[in-house]
Structure 1
Amino acid sequence: MMQPFNLIKAKNYEELSQTASEIIIKVLKENPHSLYCFAGGDTPVRTLELLVQAHHEKKINLCEAYYIGLDEWVGLDNSSDGSCISYMKRNLFDPANIPKEQIHFFNAKSKDLEEECNLANEYIKKHGGITLSLLGVGVNGHLGFNEPGTSFESLAHVVDLNEITQKVGEKYFEQDVTISQGITLGIKQILESQYLILEASGETKKEAIKKLLESEITKDWPVTALKLHKNCTVVLDGMLQIDI
């Protein structure tokens, strides 16, 4: 079946990470002052490490670009190791010494989360949209915290997290936390990125990727929205046993 995106089957996780980082580096060289959005989670860790390495080798300058957070657990901030902002600081912002003035993240402890959504929407508009988004995919096919059923026309919004998302999320926290809600950029904003990269690694993502490869576009599996994008690369690693 012809896919509407560039599909790459890497031999292993390292090759997946190298492949994704090379695409991002090329785009960063061509668009050094643009807005970028990078997902958290286990899969992008090595990709971000390779970007930092390229930065230190002077191949790119990550300090020239601007960054917007994809999502955050409602009620958490940088003081929690499992928060998305903490993850990005640990894996990208601090190692590359990126100025905090060039980073916009949801304040998920705000008493006015609707205003946080408005601020994110305005930040994206101000920068002329997102140039590149690096995404992972949830077990249930979510993108960011856009859970099944989310409108493809959505902008930044607060969401009640599915039970599976809450359960999977527990692995990021050493302490007990309540993670029943998330705040996320919308699918519309993700799809309006000039470039999209989706990374998927491991057997737990098999069903979501099979839906992307084989199913019609449906809100029941938000990942299938990527079929609407004209410049999307999907990189799978060898741990994901799918025939393509």
Structure 2
Amino acid sequence: MEVVIVPGSKQIGKLAADAIEALLRRKPQAVLGLATGSSPLPIYDELAARHERDGLDFSQAHAFALDEYVGLERGHPESYREVIRREFTSRVNITPENVHNPDGSAADIPAACSSYEEAMHALGGVDLQILGVGTDGHIGFNEPGSSLASRTRIKSLIEQTRRDNARFFNSMAEVPHHVVTQGLGTIMEARHVMLVATGAQKAQAVRDFVEGPVSAICPASVLQFHPHATVLLDEAAASSLKLADFYRHTYDNKPGWQGL
């Protein structure tokens, strides 16, 4: 796990976009894993700017969303299908049919989850997965206690997560209780995982998953087992790390050719 600490979200967006641009230039048909929430927004803004300014091409790429609410009607502004379209895919030239989302309105959700996994495998798996992390250490919607080997499935949200997400709805009562999410085992199959965390409210979760034990109580800690995991942090999110100075020194002195 590589931990990179930078002053703020603008630098995070640039670093992450550098990695994604390099991937697309060597593999135009790359498969991207897309997260929602506030953490990835600087990445999406930077990628959209590079597409508009430099012609960064997404036309052959595919994308898979991490998760989706269960029970929201199609077109609901807070469905993750709509959020990803609004915040990213509508701003670049990715083919709409190449953007894949879990189906939270399927009549047979277990079958839809299996189909989602099959679609990923049919395209060779995810090349680069963007992640955020919850204040309780969840990634995707794999809440504390999730199996470290879990696959795409339906999950119940804990109340803390519903409270965290209530700001996107008119009231807490509107926040769904269930989601479809890629599992931790699914996420771990991505060839490169890039997790973004910003703000002091994420500092405890960052310390737990980077420097704590691997445990289902902190789902993101499973990334300690990933062969190519990059953690991009601002100073506030890194403020509780014991080895922060070591991470800074390592990144400042890494070979330029190595990339993220």
TM-score by length of 2: 0.88
- Summarize the Cα distance change of 1:59–1:118 in structure 2 as closer, same or farther, 3 Å threshold: same
Match of 1:65 in 2: 61
Q: Which runs of 5+ in 1 are unaligned?
A: none
Percent identity of equivalent pairs = 26
**Structure 1's 77 and 88: CA in aligned 2 closer, same or farther, altered over 3 A?**
farther
Return the letter of the residue paired with 2:6.
A
4+ long deviations beyond 4 Å: none
**2:187 pairs with 1:177:** no
Preserved contact between residue 63 and residue 99 of structure 2 (Cα < 8 Å):
yes
Deviation at 1:141, TM superposition (A): 0.6
Structure 2 CA distance, aligned partners of 1:178 and 1:52? 29
Alignment of 1:1-244 (within 5 A): 5-174=1-170, 176-240=173-237, 241-243=239-241, 244=244
Aligned 8 A contact 1:81 1:173 in 2: no
Q: How many residues align?
A: 240
Q: Deviations over 1:58-93 (max 9, x none)?
A: 452112100111001111255222221111101111
Q: CA deviation at 1:144?
A: 0.2
Structure 2: gaps of 5 or more residues: 245-260
Kept in 1: contact 2:13–2:42 (CA 8 A): yes
8 Å CA contact retained: 1:118, 1:156: yes
Distance in 2, matches of 1:21 and 1:97, equals 16
- Aligned-CA RMSD value: 1.4
Instruction: Output the TM-score relative to the length of structure 1.
Output: 0.93
Task: Report the alpha carbon displacement of residue 94 of structure 1 after superposing the two structures with TM.
Answer: 0.9
Structure 2 CA distance for aligned equivalents of residues 33 and 97 of structure 1: 13
Larger of the two Rg values belongs to structure: 2
Could you tell me whether the CA contact under 8 Å between 2:196 and 2:231 is conserved in 1?
A: yes
8 Å CA contact retained: 2:203, 2:236: no
Point out the more displaced range, 54-63 or 31-40: 54-63
